[in-house]
Chains A and B, each alone.
Chain A
Amino acid sequence: MSITLSEAESRRVVSGYGVPVSPFVTGTSTADVLAAVDADPSVTFPVVAKLCGRAIAHKTERGLVRLRIADTDALAAACDELLGKALPDDGDVEVLVSTMVDGNRELIAGLNDDPQFGMTVMVGVGGILAEAIRDVSFRLAPITEVDAAEMLDDLGTQRLFDEFRGEPAADRAAIVEALVALARVGAEEPGLRSADLNPLILVDGRPVAVDALLELDEGSELEEVTS
């Protein structure tokens, strides 16, 4: 069996290794959340607010995500509403507030502990269609920058990396850096079973994870999370 970390916990782990995630703060009450947003200049409106917790795996399906929140008043209302939706089975929950980032291109990156090959790292064409498109490339973690660059070369949808609908060409070096960092998470964190960064949005060509999910073997606990 396995357990999944909350989005906030997952984000902290991967960003600790240098994987770029959209700026975020968390709080367990509306007042805490507002104070945290106020205190962190990197979190700017419009924002997205999500109710997250270890037992909450499907935020969107349960209506626990609020997009394009324009200001503090709207955020306060969203926090009240989200906290009110928590169910007894959800256990500990908190509201995660993150800067809303924009980009038309979505990648998926992830980790998977393969029964034959051990920890693997993946990049692919992402978003909700990732599993249907199946344009992905795997390597065994850890990886070098050369490996990561070749993973991008492997993808069939190369045009995704050119200039696209008014956005600049993808910054391959930045994606490579993110993949190398993600693979390090996989290679160095004990008990990790899998991870998803989906989507990993290209913002002005640079990758930013706007969701993160880490799955651990039951009974394991990540240092970065507990400390």
Chain B
Amino acid sequence: MTDLSALFDPKGIIVTGVSNHPGKFGFVTLHNILTSGYEGEVFPVSREPGEVLGRQVLGSIDDVPDGAADMLFICTPPAINEGLLRQAAAKGVTAAFCAAGGYREAGPEGVEMEQRLVALCEELGIALAGPNGQGVVSTPSSMCAQIVAPYAPAGKIAIASQSGNFVSSFLNLANHTGVGVSRAVAAGNASVLGIADYLDYFTDDPETAVSLVYIESVDDGREMFERMAPLAARKPIVVVKGGASAAGARAAASHTGALASDDAVFDGMCRQAGLIRARDVEEAFEAAATFATQPLPDGDRVVVVTTVGGWGVAAVDAMADTRLEPTTLPDDLMAAIDEKLPPRWSKNNPIDMAGGETRDTVPEILQLVAEHPEVDAAVLLGVGIQSNTAAMMRGGPFFPDHGLERIVGFHERQDTRYAEAAAEISTATGTPIVVATELANAGPDNPAPATLRSLGRLCHASAGRAVRSLHHLAGYSAWKRARGL
């Protein structure tokens, strides 16, 4: 297995092709590395020495002190990169990210140059990422070495993608939700390092709790299966796949061959290998964010807790096409809840408190549900509505008089408490508690989603999406249990 520590946690970075033009990749990369707060040494290199972003630009890699940099970020054209790699190797560089294009994707001449690049990196002992990729992000090193934005908050999700665009998509979602990222890398042409190599690294990486990959093409599906299955047994891997390959087109005399669509076979491979397959990028990120921040459920039994009506019904409906089951409330749990709520509560799952909650009710009910041995997971809905009311009061013409200031403060404290309770109780009991409200998008400053975000937890934007994430956690858990893992 290739050691990728110099790629993800370099002690110093050489960036080639750094020009004064803020539209050029070299400039942007230097800008992003410096802006993200990277604390190692940075050596911008260009044929035209001078100053860029207040940094002295070196005229040659030869001017970099020996051993000061172990990563090379290439923004220069293919024709000169072999020479640069030799110089960099002489300085102690052991990893390179080649952002430059003009290789395999550019025609026969590019194919040949890519082959030479691969052979040279092998000769020099350099781990090569790319070429033709957008870059690498690593929050433990405060490093955004990318030719594009964004950077992301620190967290436990590691991303590897066959499309750089989706690295950006995942990082955008990390910024939006507040659920952070450990590493992110675009595989580019993946001429040496591919998705499975990055997954190898992520699975051993103590900074990473879950891997998230975007796959577009599968060269050797059998090899992918054989490499990924043992990794999935150790750490969850969420997969989203784009595109259908034409490779499945071989004519078959059999019904089985006719039924073997690429998607059906890929799906079966994922189920067998324990890969968690999401339907789209958003679902994939949310599943990864839930894996990164919640305990794994021990089974499929779910209880929905809601302050009022319809949301709970929607959550139970959403379970219909998942493996989750809205479990019947056990008698002792029912009795315990009866003690806490007025008689009009729903008396079944979903637990609809019917507005009967007082100051401590929501945390108390959540605690009863989450600690019950016959409940594997919980969904909390209806948070944020008190603060929604508070927001209207706060913005209206009567505030702060007529007792509004006091009640606004109470409402906002309550939603903050609910969000905190969901996090604390799930951690304490080992039972996942997913929280959903459209306020995650529609009112992100509302204390309920805002508190979850500040705790680094995902606030799902709908009950259906929360259920979908939980389905993925439960599926992975079942896969492990069935194999004694």
Chain A residues with a Cβ under 8 A of chain B: 2, 4, 57, 108-112, 114-118, 120, 122, 124, 130-131, 134, 136-140, 143, 146-147, 149-151, 154, 193-196, 198, 213, 215
Determine which of A124, A131, A140, A151 lies in contact with B269 in the assembled complex, contact meaning CB atoms within 8 Å.
A140
What B residues does A196 contact at CB under 8 A? 254-256
Contact segment of B158-166, B259-267, B278-286: B259-267
Instruction: Output the nearest chain A residue to B251 by Cβ-Cβ distance.
Output: A2
- Interface readout for B265-279 with A: 1 if CB under 8 Å, 0 if not? 111110110000000
Complex Cα distance A194/B68, Å? 57
Among candidates B222, B258, B483, residue contacting A140 with C-beta atoms closer than 8 Å: B222
A136 contacts across to B, CB distance below 8 A = 259, 264
Return the chain A residue nearest B246 by Cβ.
A115
9 residue pairs, one from A and one from B, having the closest CB atoms: A110-B256, A138-B268, A116-B221, A117-B221, A194-B254, A118-B222, A112-B260, A196-B254, A115-B247
Q: Identify the closest chain B residue to A117 (Cβ).
A: B221
Interface of B toward A, CB cutoff 8 Å: 218-222, 225, 245, 247-248, 250, 252-260, 262, 264-269, 271-272, 479, 482-483
Q: Select from chain A the residue with minimum beta-carbon distance to B258.
A: A131
> A209 to chain B: closest CB distance in Å?
13
Instruction: Establish whether residues B255 and A198, one from each chain, have CB atoms under 8 Å apart when the complex forms.
Output: yes
Do the beta carbons of B257 and A194 come within 8 Å of each other? yes
| Residues of A close to B253: CB separation below 8 A | 2, 4, 57, 193-194, 213, 215
B54: shortest Cβ distance to chain A, in Å?
A: 50
How far in angstroms is the closest Cβ of chain B from A71?
33
Query: Are B254 and A213 in touch, CB under 8 angstroms?
Result: yes
Q: Which residues of B contact A120 (CB under 8 A)?
A: 260, 265, 268
Most A CB contacts (10 A, CB to CB) among B254, B256, B258, B262 go to B256
State A124–B268 Cα separation when bound (angstroms): 13
A-B contact count (CB 8 A): 109
> Which of A109, A118, A151, A215 interacts with B252 by CB under 8 Å?
A215
State whether B259 touches A134 (Cβ < 8 A): yes
Q: Is the CB of B254 within 8 A of A195?
A: yes
A116 in complex: contacting residue of B220, B256, B271, CB < 8 Å: B220
On whether the beta carbons of B256 and A117 are closer than 8 Å, the reply is no
B256 touches A194 (CB 8 A): yes
A150 to B480, CA, bound (A): 12
A134 — which chain B residues lie within 8 A by C-beta?
A: 259
User: Of residues A137, A143, A146, A196, which shows the largest number of chain B Cβ atoms within 10 Å of its Cβ?
Assistant: A196
From A138, A139, A143, A154, residue with most partner B Cβ within 10 Å = A138
30 A-B Cβ contacts within 8 A?
A: A57-B253, A108-B255, A108-B256, A109-B256, A110-B254, A110-B256, A112-B252, A114-B265, A117-B225, A117-B265, A117-B266, A117-B269, A118-B221, A120-B265, A130-B255, A131-B259, A134-B259, A137-B264, A138-B264, A138-B268, A139-B272, A140-B272, A143-B272, A146-B483, A151-B268, A193-B257, A194-B256, A196-B254, A213-B253, A213-B254
CB pair B252 A194 closer than 8 Å: yes
Contact flag A139-B271 (CB < 8 Å), given A117-B222, A146-B482: yes
Chain B residue with the shortest CB-CB distance to A111? B256
| A122-B256 contact, Cβ under 8 Å, with A140-B269, A150-B482 | yes
Q: Given A112-B252, A112-B256: A154 and B265 within 8 A (CB)?
A: no
Chain A residues within an 8 Å CB radius of B221 = 114, 116-118
Chain B residue at minimal CB-CB distance from A110: B256
Taking CB atoms, residues of chain A closer than 8 Å to B258 are: 131
Q: Which residue of A lies closest to B321 (CB)?
A: A156
Chain A: minimal CB distance from B232 (Å): 14
Nearest-neighbour CB distance to chain A for B314, whole angstroms, equals 22
Q: Which residues of chain B come closer than 8 Å to A193, judged between CB atoms?
A: 252-253, 257
Q: How many whole Å from A162's CB to the nearest CB in chain B?
A: 17
Residues in B with CB closer than 8 Å to A151 are 268
Nearest Cβ in chain B — how far from A128, in angstroms?
10
Across the interface, which residues of B come within 8 angstroms of A124, CB to CB?
259
- A223 CA / B271 CA spacing, docked (Å): 33
